[in-house]
Structure 1
Amino acid sequence: MYLAAAAPGLIRSLTLVEPPAFGISDSPEVVATRDQLKQLWADHSIDRFDFWSRFCELIGEPPWPRRPLPPQLDDGVRALMHSRGPWEARPDWTTLRSAQFPKLVISGGHHAGFEEIADTIARRTVAERCTLPGRRHMVPQVGNPFNGLAEDFWQRADSALSNKG
């Protein structure tokens, strides 16, 4: 969203999947998760395995079942622990709403906070909105329903762009 708002003239379309923008809504579902995520990020005594387990619980995903984390996952968790918190999102709604490119927001239908975030983004940016249940936060893993939806959206975006040209 940040890059699209920074250079809207360079964007052909924007697809957001389960966007973790916990700073854009004050609904009870979002606030509850946001507060818990802030507590998690603030706990500097927690190790990566416990951080990941708690993070997965908060976003509705199953954690890695046993210690240790696999090396690639461990590297990703280390980066996540030191990244900006998902409550810091403050996109430029005015630019995104007025941008001429098509927008699509997809969620997995598994977490009230993510549903509210997706609804808020769709409403504020005039985006298409879709829910694809079955794989929780890992929406692309539903396979053909996701692939078909994304391909159809991108084809319509290309067609709209061609008709303007």
Structure 2
Amino acid sequence: MGGIVVVRDGFGPEVLLVHGGAGPRTTWGALASLADRWTLALVHRRGYPPSPPPRVRQDFEVDAQDLAPLLAAGPHVVAHSYGALGALTAAAAAPGRVRSLTLIEPPLTHLVPGDREVARLARIGDAVLAQGMEADPAELREFLRLAGAPVGDGPLPESVVAGVRRAQGSRPASEARPPLDMVRGAGIPVLVASGGHASAHERICDALADALGGERAVYRGAGHFVAAAPGFAERLESFLLADARG
């Protein structure tokens, strides 16, 4: 299938940045100042140029396969949304190669069984991935807002429509079952972060931090794109440095 592209910038220990549905620059732009002290390795998942398109569909298992050789250098891994599914899967397969793991609002809805809001997030998320622009209009807008897209009351921006079409046919996030016990058992330092904008995401992140024995952080002000929230870059660097000192 050909390898994915990783664009590196900066100096120092490597921080592997794995984006979700939005591209790497949109997701990680607010962390650019860290390049003064860290090597920021921006992964471009399949379907996001200059990486090749997926052979069949976006799939977190394929993401994990693509990420596996990138763990050989022992990077810190920071992953967002759908991208965190592949990152967790790759980390669980080779936990000794991951220096630390930061997970931002991953859609691991199975961690909170019986919760109506989490179940709704899973349902509408799967529907949008399956049906794209043909999904129920109200549910499509609801999901896009939860996903941080710039959605108002008028027509959807062309960039948002393009993102929906790119994601259509992706493997449903609800199918992801990364072996969290492998990550926790390896003692990987973990930070789980959310944006305080949706109770479903908060409950998922609470459950994930508990399952992994990780730190938990909430940074408001940027919705789903938590990396852009005030104070997040500083907290992330503090977390990375704590591991380096350890």
**What is the TM-score when the length of structure 2 is the normalising length?**
0.56
Whole-Å separation in 2 of the counterparts to 1:146 and 1:106 = 9
Aligned residue runs from structure 1 range 145-160, under 5 A: 145-160=231-246
CA distance in structure 1 between the aligned counterparts of 2:227 and 2:93, rounded to whole angstroms: 26
1:155/1:75 Cα in 2 relative to 1: closer, same or farther (>3 Å)? same
2:144 corresponds to which of 40, 50, 56:
56
Of 54, 66, 75, the residue aligned with 2:155 is 66
CA distance in 2, matches of 1:44, 1:56: 11
Aligned to 2:170: 83
Q: Deviations over 1:115-139 (max 9, x none)?
A: 0110111000000000011111111
Q: How far, CA to CA, are the matches of 1:110 and 1:96 in structure 2?
A: 27
Q: Which deviations, in whole Å up to 9, do the C-alpha atoms of 1:44-85 show, x marking residues without a partner? A: 6718x9986453145465427535513xx5553333112112
Higher strand share: 2
Residues 107, 131 of structure 1: 8 Å contact kept: yes
Distance 2:194 2:214 in 1: 13
Aligned equivalents of 1:21, 1:76: Cα separation in 2:
21
Alignment length (residue pairs): 156
* Identity level (%): 33
Q: Does 1:30 align with 2:118?
A: yes
2:131 to 43, 51, 66: 43
Q: What RMSD, in angstroms, separates the aligned Cα atoms of the two structures?
A: 2.5
Deviates more, 1:23-32 or 1:120-129: 23-32
Q: After TM superposition, give the deviation of residue 14 of structure 1 in Å.
A: 0.1
Between Structure 1 and Structure 2, which shows a larger proportion of helix residues? 1
Which ranges in structure 1 are unaligned for 5 or more consecutive residues? Answer: 161-165
* Alpha carbons of structure 1 residues 106 and 114: separation in structure 2 relative to 1, 3 Å: same
TM score, norm. by length of structure 1:
0.81
